[in-house]
Amino acid sequence: MTREEAYQILNKYMAGDTHYIQHSLAVEAIMKGLAKRLSPGDEEYWGIAGLLHDLDELHCDWRNDIRTHGPKSVEILKEEGVDDPVLFGAILAHNPPNGKKAKTKIEYALLAADPMSGFIKAVAQIYPDRKIASVKPKSVMKRFNESRFAANANRTYMEAIEYTGLRLEDLIDISLEEMGKIAGEIDL
């Protein structure tokens, strides 16, 4: 699957929902940045995993049963003719309550990148200009250590990046850099 094909699938199932599309673009950017460090040459593929990880957001009742989040995305992709066990594994592993535990670098990367994208957005939104360009890594780490700030952002998942050999600080740096490159697309 090409990035363009993945983007078409995303838009088909997100039905123009700006919030989820922006989130997906942010996770795609972080995943591409992580691939540069962890799996050079696979940036587009890892980006596609980030782009499609929440494909089921509007198509399953995951708020009542979190275990459906991920499996429904895989089901949608299969209906679209996609057959990619590595991609499916990464999508499933980003939501451990569905029973899939992360085991590979791409799985841990997606598990960590998903909440980090939202966390960084939350940090940016407390700045007067609400721009990612104003956010410094030190500020993200300070807020990370404040459990009441963005309390729903799963810090354990973000720290899982360490299973890839990277540090949390590396994830923060990569996320800020890559999200900064697409700031206009994600309203940051």
Task: Give the pLDDT confidence of 145-166 residue by residue, as tens digits.
Answer: 999 999 999 999 999 999 999 9
Cα–Cα distance, 133 to 187 (Å, whole number): 12
pLDDT for 109: 98
The residues near 2 (Cβ < 8 Å, ≥ 6 apart) are 44
> Closest by alpha carbon to 116, among 84, 148, 159?
159
All structural domains of the chain with their residue ranges: 3-181
Residue 164 and residue 108 in contact, taking contact as beta carbons nearer than 8 Å: yes
CB under 8 Å, gap of 24 or more: what pairs does 159-162 form? 159/112, 160/102, 160/108, 160/111, 160/112, 161/34, 161/108, 161/109, 161/112
**Which class is domain 3-181?**
mainly alpha
Question: Which one has a higher pLDDT value, 56 or 37?
Answer: 37
